[in-house]
Amino acid sequence: MDVIKTQQISARPIEKVIVHPLVLLSIVDNYNRVARDTRKRVIGVLLGSSSKGTVDVTNSYAVPFEEDDKDPSIWFLDHNYHESMFSMFKRINAKEHVVGWYSTGPKLRENDLDIHGLFHDYVPNPVLIIIDVQPKELGIPTKAYYAVEEVKENATQKSQKVFVHVPSEIAAHEVEEIGVEHLLRDVKDTTISTLATEVTGKLAALKGLDARLREIRAYLDLVVDGKLPLNHEILYHLQDVFNLIPNLNVAELIKSFAVKTNDMMLVIYLSSLIRSVIALHNLINNKMLNKEHEKAEDAKPATIPAAAGS
């Protein structure tokens, strides 16, 4: 009875996936060793824990994998290697269990559902995380999915499993944060001021928001043109987004924005005036010091050099 209860709890729908930096570093290292400058992808096993619909991925290891580029149904995953590696990891940390698998995609492929089915032997509801090792857009390079049974409206049709997207985020323990900071020292210039760093972060966030808005617009254009089917769940989420947008056409809000902007511009204007006055003051002081030095040099008596041999 206890075993059945445990499986029911762990098989509940996944609400969030947390990926740790160690997992990302391990996957990137695996990709650079095996599939760099090729069209291949690498696959591995994710270790961690699952509780209350949240999957915490804390570790991973690569698994030998091969697939036919022309025929997606032909692929090979080394089960013996996976079994031996998991037994060794279990000796080191018994709390880490198999929670799913990863792929460097960079997108879902036809045989992913077949590979996903193998991991049901190790966890009731495995998770698939696609890691984009060469991201072209700003944002988190992880996309998480889990499989659900899709029931057909027509009773004569067989149900099939489909992937459902689940939110993912990057999180780290205190020890991991220290290690990541040491690694980022070689990447980020620590001499940059805090203001410049904040502006860079704001700019990156705005670029990411712009990319997401463009993606939403492209999707809606395809739906309007009839190239994509209407998905009510996506439209409900978009409606929630639009409902959360504040109404900026309120007179009081517009006035407060104008007052706040004018206050900031006044501070900037005063700062520019103060800088100009200080620069002019330093220029006058410099000229006065130069004149004093010139007078002191002119007041010195001229020295006549002694004749040679005297």
pLDDT tens, 167-199? 999 888 777 777 777 766 665 555 556 677 778
**Could you list the residue range(s) of the whole structural domain that residue 253 is in?**
246-294
Per the structure, how many domains does the chain have?
2
Question: Does residue 202 fall inside a structural domain?
Answer: no
The reply to whether 184 and 251 lie within a common domain is: no
Residues 22 and 126 in one domain: yes
Please state the pTM of the whole predicted model: 0.62
175 lies in the same domain as 259: no
Whether 8 maps to a domain, the answer reads yes
Contact 64, 78 (CB under 8 A): yes
* Tens-digit pLDDT string for the chain (310 aa): 333 333 333 446 788 999 998 899 899 999 999 888 888 899 999 999 988 889 999 999 999 999 988 888 889 999 899 999 999 988 888 889 999 999 998 888 889 999 999 998 888 899 999 998 887 776 788 999 999 887 766 666 677 788 988 999 988 877 777 777 776 666 555 555 667 777 887 888 888 888 889 989 999 999 999 998 888 888 898 899 888 888 888 888 889 989 999 999 999 999 999 999 999 999 999 999 988 888 888 887 765 555 554 4
Same-domain check for residues 168 and 35: yes
Amino acid at 288: M
Cβ-count burial 220-240 (b if 16+ within 10 Å, e if not) = eeeeeeeeeeeeeeeeeeeee
Which of 188, 222, 238 represents a domain boundary (last residue)?
188
Q: Which residues pair with 229 in a beta bridge?
A: none
**121 and 256 share one domain:** no
**What local confidence, expressed as pLDDT, does residue 204 receive?**
83
> Within a domain: residue 43?
yes
Q: Judge if 32 and 143 occupy the same domain.
A: yes
Does 256 share its domain with 177? Answer: no
Same domain, 160 and 252: no
8 and 92 fall within a common domain:
yes
Same-domain check for residues 64 and 159: yes
Radius of gyration of the chain (CA): 32
CATH of the domain at 102: 3.40.140.10
150 and 35 share one domain: yes
Token code pair at residue 133: 């090792």
